Chain A
Amino acid sequence: MKHVLGAVGASCLLLAVPAMAETTLTIATVNNGDMIRMQGLTAEFTKKNPDITVKWVTLEENVLRQRVTTDIATKGGQFDVLTIGTYEVPIWAKKGWLVPLANLGADYDVADLLPKIKDAVSVDGKLYAAPFYGESSMVMYRTDLFEKAGLKMPEKPTWDFVVDAAKKLTDKSAGTYGICLRGKAGWGENMAFLSAMANSYGARWFDEKWQPQFNTPEWKTTLTTYVNLMKDAGPPGASSNGFNENLALFNAGKCAMWIDATVAASFVTNPKDSKVADKVGFALAPNTGLGKNANWLWAWNLAIPAGSKKADAAEKFIAWATSKDYTKLVASKDGWANVPPGTRTSLYQNPEYLKVAPFAKLTLASIDAADPNKPTVKPVPYVGVQYAAIPEFQGIGTQVGQQFSAALAGSMTVDAALAAAQSATEREMKRAGYIK
């Protein structure tokens, strides 16, 4: 059997030899609109770099994470460019899994990257990934319904206002609900929203000594407000709603308010997909006057795994895909409304972009208002607004998310959900050695 495998291995190597003349990059990515567009524009890159060919591997987010982690941990070298989130960048960089990006080229203009986004993908001042598109979260609301109810959305709403307005705007018989929020369990689903909301209420995931904080009054207020608000003014079955479900509800005109990713703004204002495209207003995510808004910070980034043997070509591709010229290229092909948002200061100074993107100002303000290095009112030992950038967070976040989703569905009380979240998190943190 060994011989057979050896022979197979040898023949694979032989077959690979002719391909060495030109470099083939394998790029792993997720199926988001901006990435698909990048895939479509690959020819523009290979035209400029005739010695490089590009192969795309598109996978579902969680599958991609698992697939890429296996490859990177075993130094499998199957991928040359990875699409990863801001959550992975600091963790993987510290493990030595990513190649620092030092040769992006003279005209790349690193200083033009939005400072908050740049911080999120840097470790010890070195850039380990280049942001492809960035997002925060904000309030999207129906201007027509607000007008009808005689309400006026402030630019920086408080939670009291949002709760009150949501109740007033709910008309269950007509099928309009005051507010749509994420409820589907998952660290990147309901917990992204709830962690950011908790930050605005002065809560935090861990204290300075990594002790979980779900037994604090701040978390109780957060979760009680959320559950009651959704009970009074949310759509039915909210505990299974994630980003996509809420997007569909909002586009169908069922939600008066929706607090979610800033990238949604371009979807809800697109008349092709949205019934309410011309009736949407934007505001910062709500606060409680403690100095933090309930908004997160996220970016999808391109990075090079340490196992790649084609780091130079990979860096060339990354420099191309995250450059100012790429933005211009997209604008020339698909219009300014479709350029990847949230990574560069220059984009938000571009009058052509500002003209077609009514949400640009608020997106920028939201990104600026989130600080991954100082996400909460009280000090914390972790980096990350809607997550804690430690490897254990994915598991813990999803477990806690399930408890909170159950509280929203009504199969559990708020107190029981918080107690379960506390004990589950304590157990995992003890197991991982953060606390004794």
Chain B
Amino acid sequence: MARMATTRRVVISTIGAWFFGFLIFFPILWMVLTSFKTELEAFAIPPSFLFFHWTTENYVTVQERSDYFHHALNSVIIAGGSTLIALLIAIPAAWSMAFSPTKRTKDILLWMLSTKMMPPVGVLVPIYLIYKSFGLLDSRIGLVFILCLGNLPIVIWMLFTYFKEIPRDILEAARMDGATIGRELVYVLTPMAIPGLASTMLLNLILAWNEAFWTLNLSTSNAAPLTTFIASYSSPEGLFWAKLSAASTLAIAPILVLGWFSQKQLVRGLTFGAVK
């Protein structure tokens, strides 16, 4: 009897999990399906789910009209660069706050987070003027810089919480054995923090990849990443959903694949410290 109840519970929770998983995945699935429809079918009421005339003409049009690889390369450089620099700054910062906290550590952390509370559009004009003076408008380095600054508080916060979970005793033991700070960081702390680091890196990468405000406003063509590529397919007068879906599918494809391969790390990192 007990066994049956357990089996039933497993079945129900499995169905439930699949259902919610499908629900969350549905918008992406719908986008992919729409990208294979004609413009007229993309708009059809009632919408057709699978039984429509499948076509790849939207992908052909998108390829003809814009340089996908130019935008994708920019996205990789901007998202990757900003993540790397953010980690380089955030690891020592989070390490020092986690292992040698002072009276003001909490305040500093909160102050860092508070910079995220201001809507970006509030500083658009000053940033634009600064970028103009330094010749950073429409440059990859400029976008790397702004996205790095924008995500830094989140990266530091995440790493801080992961580092805090690492028992100080282990570090003390290493110190007793005569490890220097550098060795302690490289041989003790980093291996233990890898899941946390990996998930922070991935999250930051996704945030930077999807960032649409600064990338749209500070780039024109040379540094324009995939966000501007997508934005160029929306139209005020004319049907555009199928082509827009094709462009969006192409834009999320790289990050989706990356997410798939690192799913294990991501889940482990995000739930890190949840069970003691």
Contacts and interface: CB of A to CB of B under 8 A. Distances in A.
Interface of A: 5-6, 8-10, 12-13, 26, 28, 30-33, 36, 39, 55-61, 63, 66-67, 70-71, 73-79, 188, 243-245, 247-249, 251-252, 254, 261, 263-264, 267, 273
A57 B235 CA distance: 14
Residue among B124, B128, B141, B237 having the largest count of chain A Cβ atoms under 10 Å: B237
A280 to B, nearest CB: 16
A26 B222 CA distance: 10
Contacts of A60: 231-232, 234-236
Contacts of B66: 58
A188 B236 contact: yes
Interface in B32-78: 39-40, 43-45, 65-66
Contacts of A67: 216-217
Interface residues of B, number: 36
B235 A32 contact: yes
B125 A59 contact: no
Contacts of B135: 8-10, 12-13
A12 B233 CA distance: 30
B23 interface: no
18 contacts: A12-B135, A26-B221, A30-B235, A31-B233, A56-B221, A57-B220, A61-B236, A70-B125, A73-B125, A74-B125, A74-B129, A77-B132, A78-B137, A243-B237, A244-B238, A248-B239, A252-B40, A267-B238
B224 interface: yes
A244 B232 contact: no
Interface in B196-213: none
B224 A8 contact: no
Given A5-B134, A67-B216, A78-B137, A59 B237 contact: no
B34 to A, nearest CB: 13
Contact of A9 (B134, B233, B234): B134
A16 to B, nearest CB: 8
Given A9-B134, A273-B40, A59 B231 contact: yes
Interface of B: 39-40, 43-45, 65-66, 124-125, 128-129, 132-139, 141, 216-217, 220-221, 224, 228, 231-240
A32 B239 contact: no
Contacts of B134: 5-6, 8-9
Nearest to A63: B231
Contacts of A73: 125
Contact of B124 (A33, A70, A244, A263): A70
Contacts of B228: 57, 59
Contact of B236 (A6, A32, A77, A245): A32
Given A8-B134, A57-B228, A252 B238 contact: no
Given A59-B232, A70-B125, A74-B129, A32 B217 contact: no
Contact of A252 (B44, B233, B234, B235): B44
A261 B237 contact: yes
Given A32-B238, A263-B237, A273-B39, A55 B232 contact: no
